Amino acid sequence: MTLDLFADLPPQPFHEPITEGAMLLRVFAAQEAPALVRAIETILAAAPLRHMQTPGGFRMSVAMSNCGRYGWVTDRRGYRYQAEDPLSGQAWPPMPALFTALAARAAQAAGFAGFDPDACLINRYEPGARMSLHQDKDELDMSQPIVSVSLGLPATFLFGGMERADKPRRMRLESGDVVVWGGPARLLFHGVDTLPEGEHRLTGRCRYNLTFRRAR
């Protein structure tokens, strides 16, 4: 029998390049995941999750809220960032220091120094929810990366190309995984496949995704 010296260690972070400009940091946020989920719950008490409408009038299956100086919203008037929560007319809850620090650390690890997000979108997927292929292009400065943190139930992330019709690669994202993308990957089409049924010890029957961005 071989002695496994690593048997008692938690999984170690592992950096997987996805494509030029995009990096998967596996397990990167696993240690702070419980604290992240608690912080999300506090934010959602002040700015509740809601199913927003697309400009075309469809109800999104993913429920959303935000924290930080700007929040991403969509309604019949279009996609945009705004400083006030349309439900309350009040500013979005501030971004916790834990969030800002994690986003900067992840960006740094992927080669983007000095990332200072002013917007954090909180997505909640229940089983059956999905996000169709899209590009993130409502931000002002496309030289800034995006940092995306997965928490709770695993999901299949879809990584497409520069055209909507490009066949996407599929990648399983687990709780604590972080994806950073910028540079030549910044405008790639991407989405999330329909979330399967499941139960996770941190979040119950859902997946949360935090996406950190520099909006303005």
Binding site, residues?
Answer: 72, 79-81, 123-125, 134, 136, 138, 164, 190, 207-213
Binding residue for ligand MD6, selected from 144, 148, 175, 203, defined by CB under 6 A: 148
Q: Is 68 left (phi over 0), alpha (psi -120 to 50) or beta?
A: left
Annotated binding site for substrate: 72, 79-81, 138, 164
Least Å from the CB of residue 8 to ligand MD6: 31
Binding residue for ligand MD6, selected from 179, 185, 206, 215, defined by CB under 6 A: 179
66 binds ligand MD6 (CB under 6 A): no
Query: What, of ligand MD6, Fe ion, none, does residue 65 touch, CB below 5 to 8 Å by kind?
Result: none
209 binds ligand MD6 (CB under 6 A): yes
136 binds Fe ion (CB under 5 A): yes
User: Collapsing DSSP states into helix, strand and coil, what is residue 131?
Assistant: strand
- Residue 13 DSSP label: P
Query: What, of Fe ion, ligand MD6, none, does residue 146 touch, CB below 5 to 8 Å by kind?
Result: ligand MD6
Least Å from the CB of residue 45 to Fe ion: 25
Annotated binding site for Fe cation: 134, 136, 190
Query: How many whole angstroms separate alpha carbon 152 and alpha carbon 198?
Result: 10
153 binds ligand MD6 (CB under 6 A): no
- Would you say 121 and 64 are in contact if contact means Cβ atoms under 8 Å apart? yes
Query: What, of Fe ion, ligand MD6, none, does residue 144 touch, CB below 5 to 8 Å by kind?
Result: none
Q: Which is nearer to Fe ion, 118 or 136 (CB)?
A: 136
| Residue with the two structure tokens 């119950």 | 204
Which tokens sit at 67?
């924290």
- List Cβ<8 Å contacts ≥24 apart for 158-164: 158/133, 158/190, 158/191, 158/192, 158/193, 159/18, 159/19, 159/22, 159/188, 159/190, 160/133, 160/188, 160/189, 160/190, 160/191, 161/188, 161/189, 162/187, 162/188, 162/189, 163/189, 164/133, 164/189
Site residues (CB under 5 A) for Fe ion? 136
Residues in touch with ligand MD6 (CB under 6 A): 123, 131, 136, 146, 148, 157, 179, 181, 190, 192, 209, 211
